[in-house]
Amino acid sequence: MAQKPEQASISKALEVATLAAGCFWCTEAVFDQLKGVVKVESGYSGGNVPNPSYEEVCTGDTGHAESIE
């Protein structure tokens, strides 16, 4: 079945979402398996320490949240 022109352009568009939900390794694994998800990257959102390490974020002192995009 042929798609309408507006449907074809919508299906080719990519959108980005940033989500924070606890451990980013677990969240990344779940979203990586979802149909339609092209790429999942782990990182940190917010915070007040530039370029924190994983260990620093885990202390809770940097203000960052583990997140995926």
**Catalytic residue among 8, 10, 23, 26, which?**
23
The CA distance from 15 to 17, in Å, is 7
User: Could you tell me which residues are beta bridge partners of residue 43?
Assistant: 67
Residues present in the chain in total = 69
Active-site residue 23, yes or no? yes
Q: Determine contact, residues 64/46, Cβ cutoff 8 Å.
A: yes
Catalytic residues: 23
